[in-house]
Amino acid sequence: MNLTQALLQALQARGATEVFGIPGDFALPLFLEMQKAAVLPLHPLSHEPALAFAADAASRARGGLGVAAVTYGAGALNLVNGVASAYAERVPLVILSGAPAAHEAASGLMLHHQVKSLDSQWRIFQEITVDQARLDDPRTAPALIARVLDSALREAGPVYLEIPRDMPARPCEPVPARQTRPVDAERLAACADELLARLRQARHPLMLVGVEIRRYGIEEQVAELARRLDIPVATTLMGRGLLHDAGVPLLGTYLGLAGDAALTEQIESSDGLLLLGAILSDTNFAAARRPINFRHGIRVWQGQVEMGHHSYHDVPIKDLVEALLLRLLTRPLRPAAPPQPWPAPLLPSADAPLSPGAIISVLNEFQQRHGAMPVASDVGDCLFSALDLAPGDLLAPGYYASMGYGVPAGLGLQVATGRRPLILVGDGAFQMTGWELGNARALGVDPIVVVFNNSSWEMLRTFQPEGQYHGRGDWDFAAMAAGMGGAGHRAATVGELRMALDQALQERGRFQLIDARLPAGSLSPTLSRFVQAVKRLSMPED
Ligand SMILES: Cc1ncc(Cc2csc(CCOP(=O)(O)OP(=O)(O)O)c2C)c(N)n1
Ligand SMILES: [Mg+2]
């Protein structure tokens, strides 16, 4: 066995099902050994930012590790934004970067792709990953690989492996199996007991769930917990789509002033708010109608549990939920709530011009007729619009909010799960990474892409109308599809969009690109409410 085979087997054992990569001379030996090993399929894409987003989505969609492989310098540093997104969004991504061999590093010459020093790249990735290792000795590589990959899964974050180009073919022992750290049983028991006591004292307990319950694969356990506790559940913006088919009475998504007023009041007035795996971010809580005093609630995040002035450290959320369930076994398990049918979307008339809201109504009606599809959304008004989709699987960088995520994420989702996705993307974001659709044929995937085309960076224009730089010009995206091996559709009315979606669904084997033409200045209802909320919150108290 060589180092590459050992590494790939360890990645596969921890849930990876593919590697997205773009080689370079410092990584060619690694790529060739990955090809020879044939442990995980190796999928090239066209630009490194897409590698990170596709691997991120693969991890989110199926669980386990996502993997991106790149060359040193120009390749790896092109990944930085996508890795930073995975760090912020708590995604276990593994970056494999080629690097100069020891004798090259010792040559005394400045090497191509080098920045300030040969360690510059290492230091940059230290800042955006939860663990790192340089595999420059086959004797130490197995233990280093095991430690770093286990860190990715335990911390739910990206990790960095630097592989000098004289290492991939070196003989190497297998990587040890995954080790989980023991949990302090006494601390766990004390934490679970106090948490339940606080919930029992509360008159209006409520559970607000976030991304960690997906990252640690505990949605079913959390659903049972909610049913045994018999308390209502809502999701944060980032947690949109969680528990949608888990049989719990979901209240909806908390959006503060920009969301449903009754839900906002219920959450902000709860005297027993259990924040389970939710990040305290501005995207989740900045639009609060009135600031939530988290001290009065219970926060479970990144292995910490905070209640009032008590903090418990090293209490993994998965172990905590299991401990709570053990204490509730005598509690009646409320019967699973029937799936909440969404109200039949009131479709505007077929000749009505499109708007973000109309697009969502058409998509809801389309999914009601043909069945739900997983959704990958980019950043922009398409993401605010996506919050009005019927609850379902939604992948989006709702917190880090980098554009360019949608198309690569949709490709990664279908590669990793085989499920055909709907991709929602603005014209501006499509101009960044939409061209990766040209790889769909080689990847064997055929997403349906809806471009919210308002010829503008409309979200920015909404916050700064006086800016003269938000216009994006009139790009004919439908015409571009054929050149990339897909089918293009253009829709300016509700009827045209409905027909384009039905046609797109019928055709398999080619991606479908629907250029949904939006009148200038049209905003989704949710973004409009967010804008009002931000304006209201930024106004001095009157
Ligand atoms: C990688 C990156 N660079 C800049 C920005 C900043 C930004 C946030 S929203 C936005 C405009 C998006 O335009 P698009 O046409 O896609 O969508 P819409 O607003 O609905 O018209 C920009 C430039 C972000 N978030 N990420
Ligand atoms: Mg736009």
Single out the residue of 527, 463, 529, 459 nearest to residue 261, CA to CA: 529
428-481 pLDDT tens trace:
999 999 999 999 999 999 999 999 999 999 999 998 999 999 999 999 999 999
Distance 315 CA to ligand 2 centre (A): 43
Ligand 1 probe mutation, 459, 464, 523, 531, most atoms within 8 A of CB = 459
Distance 414 CA to ligand 1 centre (A): 24
Nearest ligand to the CA of 403 is 1
Q: Which atom of ligand 1 is nearest to the CA of 356?
A: 20
Whether 260 has a pLDDT exceeding 70, the answer reads yes
Predicted local distance difference test score (pLDDT) of residue 342: 67
Ligand 1 probe mutation, 460, 469, 517, 528, most atoms within 8 A of CB = 460
Which H helix or E strand runs over 66?
A: strand 66-70
397-410 pLDDT tens trace:
999 999 999 999 99
For 67, the 3-state DSSP assignment is strand
Phi and psi, residue 394, nearest 5°: -130, 120
Q: Which atom of ligand 1 is nearest to the CA of 452?
A: 20
ipTM (interface pTM): 0.99
Ligand 1 probe mutation, 53, 403, 518, 531, most atoms within 8 A of CB = 403
Residues having CB closer than 6 A to ligand 1 are: 379-382, 401-404, 426-429, 452, 454, 456-460
Whether 3-164 and 185-327 share one fold: the answer is yes
| Residue pair 287/255 in contact by the 8 Å Cβ criterion | yes
Predicted local distance difference test score (pLDDT) of residue 538: 74
pTM of the model: 0.96
| Residue pair 517/491 in contact by the 8 Å Cβ criterion | yes
35-58 pLDDT tens trace:
999 999 999 999 999 999 999 999
Distance 450 CA to ligand 2 centre (A): 12
Confidence of residue 105 (pLDDT cuts 50, 70, 90): confident
What string of DSSP letters covers 425-458?
EEHHHHHHHGGGGGGHHHHT---EEEEEE-SB-H
Predicted local distance difference test score (pLDDT) of residue 292: 86
Nearest CA to ligand 1 atom 15: 428
Distance 355 CA to ligand 2 centre (A): 12
Nearest ligand to the CA of 461 is 1
Class of domain 356-531: alpha beta
Mean pLDDT of 224-228: 94
pLDDT exceeding 90 applies to what percent of the chain? 85
Q: Which atom of ligand 1 is nearest to the CA of 402?
A: 26
Sketch the domain layout of the chain as residue ranges.
3-164, 185-327, 356-531
Distance of CA 304 to the CA centre of its chain: 22
Q: Which atom of ligand 1 is nearest to the CA of 382?
A: 20
Distance 526 CA to ligand 1 centre (A): 16
Number of alpha carbons in the 13 Å side-chain half-sphere of residue 177: 0
| Tokens 């960690």 -> residue | 212
Distance 283 CA to ligand 2 centre (A): 20
Distance 80 CA to ligand 2 centre (A): 24
- Quote the Cα angle for 334-335-341, to 5°: 120
Q: Which atom of ligand 1 is nearest to the CA of 472?
A: 15
Nearest ligand to the CA of 424 is 1
Confidence of residue 341 (pLDDT cuts 50, 70, 90): low
- Quote the Cα angle for 235-239-245, to 5°: 75
User: Per DSSP, which regions of 327-467 are E strands?
Assistant: 375-377, 394-395, 422-426, 448-453
Q: Which atom of ligand 1 is nearest to the CA of 459?
A: 19
Confidence of residue 286 (pLDDT cuts 50, 70, 90): confident
Predicted local distance difference test score (pLDDT) of residue 542: 46
Predicted local distance difference test score (pLDDT) of residue 80: 98
Whether 370 has a pLDDT exceeding 70, the answer reads yes
Residue type (1 letter), 173: E
Predicted local distance difference test score (pLDDT) of residue 149: 98
Predicted local distance difference test score (pLDDT) of residue 338: 77
Whether 67 has a pLDDT exceeding 90, the answer reads yes
Nearest CA to ligand 1 atom 11: 457
Tokens of 394: 């939604």
- Hey, what CATH topology would domain 185-327 get? Rossmann fold (3.40.50)
Distance 203 CA to ligand 1 centre (A): 42
For 123, the 3-state DSSP assignment is helix
Distance 496 CA to ligand 2 centre (A): 20
The mean pLDDT of the chain is 94
- Hey, what CATH topology would domain 3-164 get? Rossmann fold (3.40.50)
Q: Which atom of ligand 1 is nearest to the CA of 404?
A: 1
Nearest CA to ligand 1 atom 10: 457
Q: Which atom of ligand 1 is nearest to the CA of 453?
A: 15
Ligand 1 probe mutation, 360, 405, 455, 457, most atoms within 8 A of CB = 457
Whether 541 has a pLDDT exceeding 60, the answer reads no
Distance 427 CA to ligand 2 centre (A): 5
Distance 298 CA to ligand 2 centre (A): 39
Longest dimension (CA), the chain: 71
